Structure 1
Amino acid sequence: MTLHREGFGTIALALVFLLLLNLGVEYLTPELNWLHTLLLVVSAVFFFIIVQFFRYPKRRPTLNPKQVIAPCDGKVVVIEEVVETEYFKGPRRQISIFMSPVNVHVNWNPVAGIVSYFRYHPGKYLVAWHPKSSTENERTTTVIRMQNGVEILFRQIAGALARRIKWYVSEGQQVGQASEMGFIKFGSRVDVYVPLDAEIKVNLNDLTTGSITVLAELKS
């Protein structure tokens, strides 16, 4: 299993903390062997959960210039027409994917093109499925202009547990479809905004696989 580079520091800190905790408890309570065993088992399970969160699977991505692919693993929780107020300032179709702590948390670019807009917004840490999380939580907004001129906007949104968003794009950068865009730690959400005439290929509650699942097919 390959681990994402964002996890190296967290995994090391968790390992040191658990080792010190187990050694400290054993030193303070040398006669309680049952407690030492229980703590060791709980520590191993906790460490495994931390490690699996940062897994980085190898995948064969979907590459199609007329399709918008899922930027992350998760569950489709919103498909609706909205007014996007930050960049387009007009109607778009929003597709939102909720990422639970057990999902892979790598983020991929949904289309290929030039990053025409990028902003980081500090904010709150409402639960990721809260209706206001898209506009009030810590988040990034990225817009990619495709070769045909169509622009796709997507947002990384921090949740109640996810308090660190990482991104690897900047304005003016050329990006490939399914190339790595960023990472969000410990539960979060990604919103994707597509043109109203795009054909939506997913349904509510569908599970998505980042870089593979097709969210929408563009008309132009």
Structure 2
Amino acid sequence: MDSFTPKTLPLSVQPPETNRQGSSHNIDSLNITIISHTSSFTIDDLHILEKKSGGNRNVYFDRELGRGYKIPKDIDGKDPSKIRGVMLEFLRRDTEKELRLNDIYEVIYQGKYAYLATFSSVEVDLGEGKVFSAPSFPINRDALPIEKGEKISLSAIQELQKAGYNPTDIKLDNFVKVKNEEGSYDYLPIDAKLIGKDGSSSLRSRFVKRTQEARGHFDMYKGKHIDTAI
């Protein structure tokens, strides 16, 4: 099944469908049907999709729907009987934090990327009654990863701050770059777990402020991944 690659969408992004019946793919002579509901999946449904592995999470891509799904390695492929409910609750809260990206995309860069503000959550059945609320995000085919040795522009961080958001976990994995009309790059956050909000008293915003005070810098990496020249 590792050789399976879903077909690529001809558009940059396609909104999720609500009543999709599923699609069949022939994989090594086995006729497997993927039921790609936007509200719920089994973990086996996701395991058939294209996969990329990050530091803490596996990311699955449904190119046909134009959606991606993030599953923490702590639970992906694990024996569901050994997954504690308290961990699933903790991870559910992390998923809810991802939804802040909708608000961010609506306002940064004068709303140019508002069409991508379709971050949501889906229920993933892990088996034995264990359910995980997974982040679901739009696939932006214009976006490129920021490679090792590159940096995120300071102007992109200032764009977030100007909009009232307070990022501190500023590292390459948490942003992508998109070439803009001028031929340079816009930088979009793809992880909002440690992006606080001005005037908010939420646990996240308070944690971000405490982290910044402890490090003596707005960025927990003290600007290591920030290019101050752009």
After TM superposition, the score normalised by the length of structure 1 is: 0.27
Q: Which has the larger radius of gyration?
A: 1
Q: Which has the higher helix share?
A: 2
Q: Which has the higher strand share?
A: 1
